[in-house]
Amino acid sequence: MLSYRPGDSLAHRLDPRTKLLCQAAFALAAFAHTTPRGLAALTGVAGLFLASGRVSPIRAVRGYLPALPFLVAGPLVATVGVDLRGWTVGLDSGAAAGPLLASYRVLLILLVSATYLETTPVRDSRAAIQRLVPGKPGRLLGVGVALVFRFVPLLRADLGRVRDASRARLGTERPLRDRMQVVAAAGLRRAFGRADRLALALRARCFAWNPTLPALRFGRSDALGLGVAGALAASALL
C-alpha cells in the first residue's frame, strides 16, 4: 500500500499545493495527448516525477495492483467481437488500440499520484485541500481525505492478516466461494470495529472541524514545480 515515506527528495520539499497542481496539469496533458507519441513523451515526464520523489516504479505499480486487472480488461474485452445473430465470436486486434492507450494513460496518472502519496504527509494534504477549497466544504473534504489515507492501509493490512490466518488453517483446501465468504465477513467485522473505535477516539479528543493545521509556505523549489505544471497545462491547452 502506498503511503507517506519521510525523505529529503525534491518532491518532499515541495508544497503540497504545488504537487496537487502538477498532478492536475499532468492529467490534463494526458487526456489531451492521446497519440502514442504524446504518451511516450508523458512517460518520460512521469519518470521524472517518480525520480523527483525517489519512488521506485515497481513499488508504485505494486501499490495499484487492485486496479491493474481493470486496466488490462479494457483492451482484452475490446478485441472480442460477438455476433448475436450468428452466435459467433471473433477477435479484432485493431480494436484494442484505443482502449490500450486509454489504460496506459490512466496508469501514467496513477504513477504520478504515487509520487504525491509517498512524499506528502496526511496533515499536509488536509491543510492543502482546506486552503484550496474554502469554507465548510473544504474542511469536510480535508477530513475525508485524511481519514481515507489513514484508514485504507489499515483495512488492507487487516485483510492480509485474515488471509494469512485462513491459509495457516488450511483454508486453501476449501472452495473458492467459502474462502471469499470467510475473508469478506472477517474483513467487514474488522472494518466496522475500527470505525467504532475511530468514532470513539474522535469524540474523546474533542474532534473539531477547524483544527490547527501545519503552516504551508511556497519555497524556491516550488517555482520549478509551478513551472512544470504551467508547461503541462499549456501543452494540453495549446
The alpha carbon of 64 is separated from its chain's Cα centroid by a whole number of angstroms, namely 7
Q: What is the pLDDT of residue 87?
A: 52
Domain ranges of the chain: 1-121+214-238, 136-212
Angstrom CA distances, 68 to 44, 50, 222, stand at 21, 19, 32
Assess contact for 25 and 45: CB atoms under 8 A: no
The alpha carbon of 7 is separated from its chain's Cα centroid by a whole number of angstroms, namely 20
Q: What is the pLDDT of residue 164?
A: 86
Q: What is the pLDDT of residue 84?
A: 47
Write out the H or E segment, with its range, that includes residue 91: strand 88-91
Beta bridge partners of 88: 83
User: How long is the chain?
Assistant: 238
Residues of the chain short of pLDDT 50, as ranges, are 84, 86
Matching residue, cell 470495529: 193
Q: What is the DSSP letter of 215?
A: P
Assess contact for 154 and 194: CB atoms under 8 A: yes
